[in-house]
Amino acid sequence: MRPPAPPRLWLLLPLLLCCLRAAAPPPDSLSQLAAPQHPKIRLYNLEQVLSWESPSPVNDTRPVVYSVQYKYIVGEWHDVTVKSIGVNCTQITATECDFTAAGLSKGFLLHFNVTLRLRAELGELVSAWVTMPWFLHYRNVTVGPPKHIMVTPREGTLVIVVSPPFEVDTSEATFLYTVHYEEKPGMQQVKGPLQSNFILLDNLKPFRIYCLQVEAQLFWNTQRIIRPGQLSNTSCYETTADAYAKQQQVIGISVGTLLSLLLLAGACFFLVLKYGSVVKYLFRTPPSIPAQIEEYLKDPVQPILEALDKDISQKDDTWNSVSVISFPEKEREDVL
């Protein structure tokens, strides 16, 4: 009888270990695909965008694709698809997922607590999931400046009307507006926060330049949380006169107008008095006939042309002696 051969058992041991290892869940090093890098969530006004960078390049001709999942405070992970959210962020080649892409989706509700995760995929290979910090739009949003700011300078006052950076459900949240302003050069002053989008900066000096910026804070009613807003660009305006100065101006203009009217009336009256007779004469006398023609008409024998000629030659002499300018005049008459 031969004894059992112990070396054979030793031979089986590595095989056993190998099988045990294969059955264990694969650690990251075995997934062989690097995860997306530097993921960021952008929450600006109503925008919700997750973006990332592709992992280090892989030795493969096929493109790496990415899949995004979301979950609420309780519940399972769900794929981001057209059906669930309105946009398809499953196996996409792009390196961003715009949950609020224009016309497609409104994204996650602003008061929902949302957690996102994403991974890279390449054929059968997948990367580990990268889980983002949770966000709640009303809590995490970056609020931009008011969309429109309309400023009307008035008497020692600036009337400001602003429109909100974006529309919110007013039962959930409202905007509070703050104006930072200063007289150039001068100290910075603040008006607000105010709930109204109609703001009056009064008690300003007339005819001065004021520069201002407006901030819209987002006030989340139910949680009583305020998100600061970004300041608008600086814009400057000149105030007009204040009420008193304006009144003085109006009185000045009225008095001035009245005085000039009186003056004009006086002048007319004076002219009529002084030249009244002339005016009357001009209007009364019928158009008269020149004396020489009248004479000729009375005595047709006298040659009219001769009489005219004599008259002209007399003038001619005087002109000749005076200047050269009269020369062409003479020539013309010679021709005649």
The footprint of ligand NAG (CB under 6 A) covers: 41, 59, 73, 81, 88, 90-92, 113, 115, 132-136, 139-140, 233
Q: Which CB sits closer to ligand NAG, 41 or 130? A: 41
* Contact present, 141 and 218 (Cβ < 8 Å): yes
Q: Which is nearer to ligand NAG, 91 or 257 (CB)?
A: 91
Q: Which is nearer to ligand NAG, 51 or 140 (CB)?
A: 140
**C-beta of 186: minimal distance to ligand NAG in Å?**
23
CA separation for the pair 119, 69 (Å, rounded):
9
Residue 154 Cβ vs ligand NAG, minimum distance, rounded to whole Å: 24
Q: Quick one: 78 or 139, whose CB is closer to ligand NAG?
A: 139
CA distance 212 to 232: 9
Distance of CA 152 to the CA centre of its chain: 16
Q: CB 23 → ligand NAG: shortest distance, Å?
A: 26
Smallest gap from residue 163 Cβ to ligand NAG (A)? 12
- Looking at beta carbons only, is 34 or 245 nearer to ligand NAG? 34
- Smallest gap, in angstroms, from Cβ of residue 89 to ligand NAG? 8
Contacts 24+ apart (CB under 8 A), 70-74: 70/108, 70/114, 70/115, 70/116, 70/117, 71/114, 71/115, 72/112, 72/113, 72/114, 72/115, 73/113, 73/134
Measured CA to CA, the distance from residue 305 to residue 308 in angstroms comes to: 5
**In angstroms, how far apart are the furthest CA atoms of the chain?**
189
